Chain A
Amino acid sequence: MTTLEQSLYSVDKKGYYGKFGGAYIPEMLYPNVEELQINYLDIIYQPEFQAEYHALLKDYVGRPTPLFYANRLSEKYQTNVYLKREDLCHTGAHKVNNTIGQILLAKKLGKQKIVAETGAGQHGVATATVCALMGLDCIVYMGEIDIKRQAPNVARMKMLGAEVRPATSGSKTLKDATNEAMRHWINNPVDTHYIIGSVVGPHPYPDMVARFQAIISEEIRWQLLEKTGNENPDYVIACVGGGSNAAGAFYHYLDEPSVQLIAAEAGGHGVNSGMSAATTFLGKTGVLHGSKSILMQTEDGQVIEPHSISAGLDYPGIGPMHAHLWDSGRAKFFAITDEESLTAGFELSKLEGIIPAIESAHALAVLPYLKASANETVVINLSGRGDKDLDTYMKYL
């Protein structure tokens, strides 16, 4: 695992990316968060930790995931499109890269119980999976609305032995599941580790999760070098809810200015429709879930309930690293509507025989806007598979 200690885009000692980040937490969480802040780098860079993490990524998750040249998609858009196949990870999405890392960390910290939040259910499944693997108790909070729209993942979590608790407050989606998971951690500070699923939360979570997901761009680099003779593509595209798959896909390219980083946010019914989750278009600086970032909020500073067809992107903020990439202009952000994402999902299915998660379809939907040329290379992070979204897709068949 290589790191970015010197990067303009890595976290500073106080936990900030530029003006975003920090640890805005009530005192009840302070000892737990401080314990992580002090220990996370030492633990995850121990040789035996690295050995165990990489062995599990290889033999359990199935890494490296392929980098696939999408021939027919490339033909259609007159460019060279590579898909990073995170959808082929065990459990069906990139989320497991992080949960493997964090469960090993939790064990090193002597924790016996795990709590997590989930939106689409992918992070919940990935957490329940590693808890089963390691024999730890697992509680997953999930918004009541998401429980209904992601029933297969709820069943998977239960089958894996996790307890799924509905978050019934607020918008009953990912934001509220995160609140409930934090409250659970406040109530159980000693024996429980909170596995956050995205690059959000108080420092060191955004940095820690980004490091565990950085395996994605680490692999893209050598895979692309093998295939094209150049480790740097012209574009890397990823969808952003909280932004963990994007953080992983961008990580090793942050300091390569020739590589354009592109984030696809959930535009919902359209940025100005009042039914959107396009944070950088609609938000301003604010504090949610322990860090300062860009946040969708009212004039009074109340958090707005977002909308997206995709449960995994239905979040009113973005990770502080992405806020900094947006603010500094390092990454370009697109708002992709529900409809555009569905179109892109059907297109990939028919052109390449791959059904993407609706989250990942948002990244694919950037292609028509990109206007990349025939000699350019585009890498799209296909963060998850679409099995969980069949009900939604079928409504539009």
Chain B
Amino acid sequence: MNRITKLFQEKPNNVLNIYFTAGFPNLNDTTTVLEALQESGADIAEIGMPYSDPVADGETIQQSNQVALDNGMSLKVLFQQLQGIRAKVSIPIILMGYINPVVQFGIENFCKKCQEVGVDGLILPDLPMDEYYEEYKPIFEQYGLLNIFLITPQTTEARIRRIDEISDGFIYMVSSASVTGGTSGITDTMETYFNRVNAMNLRNPRLIGFGIKDNVTFTKASQYAAGAIIGSQFIRVLQDSTETTLHNNIVEYVKSVKG
């Protein structure tokens, strides 16, 4: 069974998904970060595939993408680093990134590599839903990859239902209309939106992302969904770490979020 599916069967609440950019802060930190995430009790590791033009991302993640590219990160390098990772890390791994580098790598080749190293799911925010359904879905399924879609407060009910119908794993519920890295916390308007989506009785669990950064926001988000996703704040933790403090800083931060 896919590790993401299994996770939500075993743990329907307080799921913590942590995003980090591959190749940041240093090219070869990927394994260290993954091991520290597992050790500290993160439930899902979401690895960002860096891109030169990440339009849905705010400044923090943009900069981490640029640093990673300058460090020499590429899909080829990332797959080399993930070779053998399943001997050490058993939590679900998701690759997140923009469609262009994936298309240049070759969709089938990319999916094959994902399966080889043990990736469980993909988040490709600029892959159109119809194109996924018509062209990509059979290939993703062949290689055991779940495709995770985003929804926002502006996504219509009909579109949420369609996403729920054609995808598995979980739905990434973006908390507000914004790029990543917002700091507004969870507002009343967001609560109304979370409750509205909860009342839809969807098949897929939801994780809330954008604006989650600490125990307070994580706990609050978990009241309205199966858990939450942290990205920009974790990138800041990585940014403030040196080679010697990286592991401990990650463990300390993730534990503080879980409380």
A interface, CB within 8 angstroms of B: 14, 22-28, 30-31, 169-170, 175-176, 179, 182-183, 186-190, 285-290, 295, 297, 299-303
> Which residue in B74, B99, B150 is a CB contact (below 8 Å) of A27?
B150
The digit string for B52-65, where 1 denotes a CB below 8 A from any CB of A, is 11011011001000
Residues 128-139 of chain B: 1 if any A CB is under 8 Å from the residue's CB, otherwise 0?
A: 101100000000
- Residue B165 is within 8 A (CB to CB) of chain A in the complex: no
Residues A300 and B75 in contact, CB atoms below 8 Å apart? yes
Residue of A nearest to B77 (CB): A300
CB distance from B148 to the nearest CB of A (A): 11
Contacts of B125 in A (CB 8 A): 26-27
Contact status A24-B127, CB under 8 Å: yes
* 26 CB-based A-B contacts, threshold 8 Å: A24-B126, A24-B127, A26-B126, A27-B125, A27-B151, A27-B174, A28-B56, A28-B154, A28-B178, A28-B179, A30-B159, A169-B59, A169-B62, A170-B53, A183-B179, A186-B55, A186-B178, A286-B104, A289-B53, A299-B104, A300-B76, A301-B101, A301-B104, A301-B105, A302-B101, A303-B52
Chain B 173-208 interface 0/1 with A at a Cβ cutoff of 8 Å (1 = within): 010011100000000000000000000000000000
Bound complex: CA A271 to CA B9 (Å): 56
In the bound complex, what is the Cα–Cα distance between A182 and B57 (angstroms)?
Answer: 10
Q: How far is the CA of A19 from the CA of B55 in the complex (A)?
A: 23
Chain A residues near B100: list those with CB within 8 A.
286-288, 295, 297, 301, 303
In the bound complex, how far is the Cα of B131 from the Cα of A290, in angstroms? Answer: 13
On whether the beta carbons of A24 and B104 are closer than 8 Å, the reply is no
**Extra pairs beyond A170-B66, A190-B154 (8, CB < 8 Å):** A22-B128, A27-B125, A27-B151, A31-B156, A183-B55, A287-B103, A290-B126, A300-B76
Binding site for A on B (CB under 8 A): 51-53, 55-56, 58-59, 62, 66, 69, 74-76, 98-105, 125-128, 130-131, 149-152, 154-156, 159, 174, 177-179
Most buried by A among B59, B100, B152: B100
Is the Cβ of B126 less than 8 Å from the Cβ of A183? Answer: no
Q: A25 and B126 in contact (CB under 8 A), knowing A175-B53, A189-B177, A302-B69?
A: yes
Given known pairs A31-B155, A300-B74, the reply for A287 and B126 (CB within 8 Å) is yes
Q: Which residues of B contact A26 (CB under 8 A)?
A: 55-56, 125-126, 150
B104 touching A297 by the CB < 8 A rule? yes
User: Is B152 in contact with A28, judged by CB distance below 8 angstroms?
Assistant: yes
- Distance (Å) between the CB of A206 and the closest chain B CB? 15
Check B99–A30 contact: CB distance below 8 A: no
Residue of A23, A187, A288, A301 touching B179 (CB-CB under 8 A): A187
Q: Are A183 and B58 touching (Cβ within 8 A)?
A: yes
Closest residue on chain B to residue A24 by CB atoms: B126
Residues of A within 8 A of B58 (CB): 183
Chain B contacts of A286 at CB under 8 A? 100, 103-104
> Please, which residues of chain A bring their CB within 8 A of the CB of B159?
30
Known: A170-B66, A301-B100. A27 touches B52 (CB 8 A): no
Q: Are B150 and A28 in contact (CB under 8 A)?
A: yes
Residue among A28, A175, A190 with the highest chain B CB neighbour number at 10 A: A28
Q: Is the CB of A22 within 8 A of B131?
A: yes
State whether A303 and B56 are in contact (beta carbons under 8 Å apart), knowing that A24-B127, A26-B150 are contacts in the complex: no
Chain B residues contacting A190 (CB-CB under 8 Å) are 154, 177
- Tell me, rounded to whole Å, the shortest Cβ–Cβ distance linking A242 to chain B: 15
Q: Report the separation of the CA atoms of residues A176 and B228 in the bound assembly, to the nearest whole angstrom.
A: 30
Query: Given the complex, which residues of B lie within 8 Å of A186, measured CB to CB?
Result: 55-56, 177-179
Q: In chain B, what residue has the closest Cβ to A23?
A: B128
Evaluate whether A28 and B99 lie within 8 angstroms (CB atoms) in the complex, with A169-B62, A169-B66, A170-B66 already known.
no
Residue of A with least CB distance to B178 = A187
Smallest CB gap from B149: residue in A: A27
> For residue A299, which residue of chain B has the nearest CB?
B104
Q: Is the CB of B55 within 8 A of A182?
A: yes
Q: Which residue of B is nearest A35, CB measured?
A: B154
A300-B76, A301-B102 known; A28+B52 contact, CB < 8 A: no
The answer on a CB contact under 8 Å between A24 and B99 is: yes
User: In the complex, which residues of chain B have a beta carbon less than 8 angstroms from the beta carbon of A287?
Assistant: 98-100, 103, 126
CA of A14 to CA of B127, assembled, Å: 15
- Complex Cα–Cα for A22 and B135 (A): 14
Question: How many whole Å from A200's CB to the nearest CB in chain B?
Answer: 13
CA distance A112 to B54 in the complex (A): 27
Question: Does B155 contact A27, Cβ atoms closer than 8 Å?
Answer: yes
Interfacial chain B residues near A22, Cβ < 8 Å: 128, 131
Q: Which residue of B lies closest to A292 (CB)?
A: B103
Q: How far is the CA of A31 from the CA of B59 in the complex (A)?
A: 23
- Give Cα distance in the complex from A286 to B103, angstroms: 8
| B156 and chain A: residue at smallest CB distance | A31
Contacts of B131 in A (CB 8 A): 22
Which A residues are in CB contact (< 8 Å) with B56? 26, 28, 183, 186
A179 to B52, CA, bound (A): 10
Bound-state Cα–Cα, A288 to B126, Å: 10
Closest A residue, CB atoms, query B55: A182
Query: With a CB–CB cut-off of 8 A, which chain A residues contact B104?
Result: 286, 297, 299-301
Q: Is the CB of B51 within 8 A of A302?
A: yes
Point out the residues of chain A lying under 8 angstroms from B150, CB to CB: 26-28
Shortest Cβ gap from B102 to chain A (Å) = 7
By the criterion CB–CB under 8 Å, are A187 and B177 in contact? Answer: yes
Closest residue of chain B to A303, judged by CB?
B52
* Nearest 9 interchain pairs by C-beta: A301-B104, A301-B101, A26-B56, A27-B150, A26-B125, A31-B154, A300-B74, A302-B52, A303-B52
| Smallest Cβ-Cβ distance to A181: which chain B residue | B55
